[in-house]
Amino acid sequence: MSYEIIYAKQFIRLRRTGEVIPIFLAGSNNCFDLPTSAHSKGRRARDWSNDRYYHRKGKISEKPAIILRNVDAELRRRIRGRHSPKEDKPSDVRNHFGYFASIAISGRGTRGTSFNAYRSQYSNGIRTALTIEELDKLGINPYLHTVTWGDQPTDGIPASVDLKTEAQYFEELKKWRAWQTGNGKGFYIGFHPLNTDTVLDRLRRTGREARRQARKAKTPIEQDHYFVLTDGCNNLVKYTSRGYRYSFSQSGGKRFRMEKEAEKYRQSLIKANRYKAEIWKVKRVDSPATFLV
Show pLDDT as tens, one digit a residue, over the chain (293 residues). 799 999 999 999 999 999 999 999 999 999 998 887 777 788 999 999 999 999 998 899 999 999 999 999 999 999 998 878 778 899 999 999 999 999 999 989 999 999 999 999 999 999 999 999 999 999 999 999 998 776 766 678 999 999 999 999 999 999 999 988 877 788 999 999 999 999 999 998 877 776 676 666 678 899 999 999 999 999 999 999 889 999 999 899 999 999 999 999 999 999 999 999 999 999 999 999 999 88
Find out whether 142 and 199 touch, Cβ atoms under 8 Å.
Answer: no
* pLDDT for res 4: 96
Q: DSSP letter string over 207-245?
A: HHHHHHHHHHHSPEEEES-EEEEESSS-EEEEEETTEEE
Residues 41 and 31 in one domain: yes
Please list, in sequence order, all residues whose beta carbon lies within 8 angstroms of the beta carbon of residue 151, skipping any fewer than 6 positions away.
none
Query: Of the residues 110, 129, 148, which one is the last residue of a structural domain?
Result: 129
Closest CA to 291 of 236, 222, 225, 238: 222
* pLDDT for res 219: 80
Find out whether 253 and 239 touch, Cβ atoms under 8 Å.
Answer: no
Q: Show the CA angle centred on residue 133, arms to residues 130 and 24, nearest 5°.
A: 40
Residues 137 and 124 in one domain: no
Residues 178 and 261 in one domain: no
Find out whether 140 and 202 touch, Cβ atoms under 8 Å.
Answer: yes
Residues 148 and 86 in one domain: no
* pLDDT for res 208: 72
Residues 173 and 230 in one domain: no
Residues 59 and 118 in one domain: yes
Residues 15 and 74 in one domain: yes
pTM of the complete model:
0.70
Residues 69 and 110 in one domain: yes
- The boundaries of the domain holding residue 14 are 1-129
3-state helix, strand, coil in the chain (%, to 5): 35, 25, 40
Closest CA to 231 of 278, 188, 173: 278
Indicate the pairing of strand 4-9 with strand 103-105: parallel
Starting at the edge strand that comes first in sequence, how are the strands of the sheet with 23-28 ordered? 47-50, 23-28, 4-9, 103-105
Residues 157 and 198 in one domain: yes
Residues 63 and 32 in one domain: yes
Residues 176 and 155 in one domain: yes
Closest CA to 284 of 250, 234, 252: 250
Query: Of the residues 156, 190, 217, which one is the last residue of a structural domain?
Result: 217
Find out whether 207 and 124 touch, Cβ atoms under 8 Å.
Answer: no
Alpha-carbon separation of residue 83 from 37, 79, 88, 184, 218 (angstroms): 44, 9, 8, 35, 55
Please list, in sequence order, all residues whose beta carbon lies within 8 angstroms of the beta carbon of residue 279, skipping any fewer than 6 positions away.
231
Residues 37 and 116 in one domain: yes
What residues form DSSP beta bridges with 290? 222
Phi and psi, residue 163, nearest 5°: -85, 130
* pLDDT for res 116: 96
Find out whether 24 and 129 touch, Cβ atoms under 8 Å.
Answer: no
Provide the domain count of the chain: 3
Query: Of the residues 129, 160, 177, which one is the last residue of a structural domain?
Result: 129
Beta strands in the chain (DSSP E): 4-9, 12-14, 19-21, 23-28, 47-50, 103-105, 141-145, 188-192, 220-223, 226-230, 235-240, 243-247, 281-285, 289-292
In angstroms and rounded to an integer, the radius of gyration of the C-alpha atoms of the chain is: 25
